[in-house]
C-alpha cells in the first residue's frame, strides 16, 4: 500500500499469544526504513470478545514482552522464526529474553550463555558486586555495563561487607522453594524472571578479589576452585534493575519520579491481586525500577501467600506507661502480622513524595482494602492486570471507564 508517497505493509504472526485472560494478535507495520509494532489485545467477558486497544508503540510492546511477566502460551512450530519477527519490533530486547517470553526458556538459556561468554571475552572486565545494598541471603555479582546479575545463595544468612547483624534464619532449601514458588505463579509484570544454572565455570582471574573473598567465607557450599576456575554449582540469573532507593537518589526527572511513586502503589496492589505479599514490605532494597520506570521485585525470600498475611490496625496505648515505653515492649505481633496504619510512615517513599503516594493509594492504608482483596483471591477471582498504558484502553459502555 502507498500513502502520502510512502509504501507500507502490515504483517501478522499466525499464532496467537495467550496470557492470563488476554489473547494478543502480534504483527508489524513495515514502512520505509523500519518496522512498527502492531499489537491487538482481545478480552472475553460477559459481553463477548472485544478489542481492548490497538498498540503501536515500542514502549508498550516492550512492557507486554517484559522480563517480569509470565511466559506466553504460543504454538510456535519454528520458535526461531517467531523470535526473529519479534526482534524486528523489539530491536533492543535480547533474543534470550524473547525466547523466554514465548515459553522456550531452554532456547533462551542457550542464547544467553553464548552471549555471556562472548561478552566476558570481549569486555575483559572482572565480575564485581552488583550495585545496591548487600543481601543477607544472596551474594549478588555482575559485570560492568552488563544487563544481568548473578545470585548465589550464601551458606547461611549474614552480612560480611557491612558487618550488620541479621536475624534471618532461612536456609538454602527454603530459598530455593521460595524461588520455585514464584516461578510457578503469575508474575503480573512485578516479579523479575529468574533462570537457574548449574556448574557455571569461569577462570578465577575474571573475578574481583572482593567477590572471591566473599565466596570463600559465605559460599563454600556452592562455590569451589578447580584448576584455576571458579565453579558455581548453583546460581540464579536475573535482569539488572535499579534498586528503588538508588533510583530516588539519582533520578532528576520530576515526572519520572512521580510516575514511579504512583507505580509503587500499583506494584503492591498487583502482587496482592495474584495472592502474593512481600512480607518485608518496608525493605525497599528488594525492589527495583526497570528502564520503563516500572517497579518490580527481585528478591523472593520474603514473599508469602497473601492468605498467610494477617492485616490489622495498630493497637492504641491503653495506659500512660505504654505510651512512654517502646512499642515493641507492649505490642505483641507474629511474623505474619501486618499493621496497615504503618504503610504511610514506613513504605520507603521519600518523605516529600508521600503526599503523591497517599493521594493515589490511600486505600492501601485501610483494613477494608486488604480484607476485600484477600476475599476476592480466596474466591478464585482472576483480577485484570493491564501490561500497557491504561490510557490507551478503548472505552466501553458495558464497563466503567
Residues serving a catalytic function are 193
Contact 143, 119 (CB under 8 A): yes
List residues bridging with 229 in a β-sheet. Answer: 203, 226
Query: d(Cα 335, Cα 137) in Å, to the nearest integer?
Result: 18
Which residue, chain included where needed, has cell 519479534?
A: 86
Amino acid at each position: 500500500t502507498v500513502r502520502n508517497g510512502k509504501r507500507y505493509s502490515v504483517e501478522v504472526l499466525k499464532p496467537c499469544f495467550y496470557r492470563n485472560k488476554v489473547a494478543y494478535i502480534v504483527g508489524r507495520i513495515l514502512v520505509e526504513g523500519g518496522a512498527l509494532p502492531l499489537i491487538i489485545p482481545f478480552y472475553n467477558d460477559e459481553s463477548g470478545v472485544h478489542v481492548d486497544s490497538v498498540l503501536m508503540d515500542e514502549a508498550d510492546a516492550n512492557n507486554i514482552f517484559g522480563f517480569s511477566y509470565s511466559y506466553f502460551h504460543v504454538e510456535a512450530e519454528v520458535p526461531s522464526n517467531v523470535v526473529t519477527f519479534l526482534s524486528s519490533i523489539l530491536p533492543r530486547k535480547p533474543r534470550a529474553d524473547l525466547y523466554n517470553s514465548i515459553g522456550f526458556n531452554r532456547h533462551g538459556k542457550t542464547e544467553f550463555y553464548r552471549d555471556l561468554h562472548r561478552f566476558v571475552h570481549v569486555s575483559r572486565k572482572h565480575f564485581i558486586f552488583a550495585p545496591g545494598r548487600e543481601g543477607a541471603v544472596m551474594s549478588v555479582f555482575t559485570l560492568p555495563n552488563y544487563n544481568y546479575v548473578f545470585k548465589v545463595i550464601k551458606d547461611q544468612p549474614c552480612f560480611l561487607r557491612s558487618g550488620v547483624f541479621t536475624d534471618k534464619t532461612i536456609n538454602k532449601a527454603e530459598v530455593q522453594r521460595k524461588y520455585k514458588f514464584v516461578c510457578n505463579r503469575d508474575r503480573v509484570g512485578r516479579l523479575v524472571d529468574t533462570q537457574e544454572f548449574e556448574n557455571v565455570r569461569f577462570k578465577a582471574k575474571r573475578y574481583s578479589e572482593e567477590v572471591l573473598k566473599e565466596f570463600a567465607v559465605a559460599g563454600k557450599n556452592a562455590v569451589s576452585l578447580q584448576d584455576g576456575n571458579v565453579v558455581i554449582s548453583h546460581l540464579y540469573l536475573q535482569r539488572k534493575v535499579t534498586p528503588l532507593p538508588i533510583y530516588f537518589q539519582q533520578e532528576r526527572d520530576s515526572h519520572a519520579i512521580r510516575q514511579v511513586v504512583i507505580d509503587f502503589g500499583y506494584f503492591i496492589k498487583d502482587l496482592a491481586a495474584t495472592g502474593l505479599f512481600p512480607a518485608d514490605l518496608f525493605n525497599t532494597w528488594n525492589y527495583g525500577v526497570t528502564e520503563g520506570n516500572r517497579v518490580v521485585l527481585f528478591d523472593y525470600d520474603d514473599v508469602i501467600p497473601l492468605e498467610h498475611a494477617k492485616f490489622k490496625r495498630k493497637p492504641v496505648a491503653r495506659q500512660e506507661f505504654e505510651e512512654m515505653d517502646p512499642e515493641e515492649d507492649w505490642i505483641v505481633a507474629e511474623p505474619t502480622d501486618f499493621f496497615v496504619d504503618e504503610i504511610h510512615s514506613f513504605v520507603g517513599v521519600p518523605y516529600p513524595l508521600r503526599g503523591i503516594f497517599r493521594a493515589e493509594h490511600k486505600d492501601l492504608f485501610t483494613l477494608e482494602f486488604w480484607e476485600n482483596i484477600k476475599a476476592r483471591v480466596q474466591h478464585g477471582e482472576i483480577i485484570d492486570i493491564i501490561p500497557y498504558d491504561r490510557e490507551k484502553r478503548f472505552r466501553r459502555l458495558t464497563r466503567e471507564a
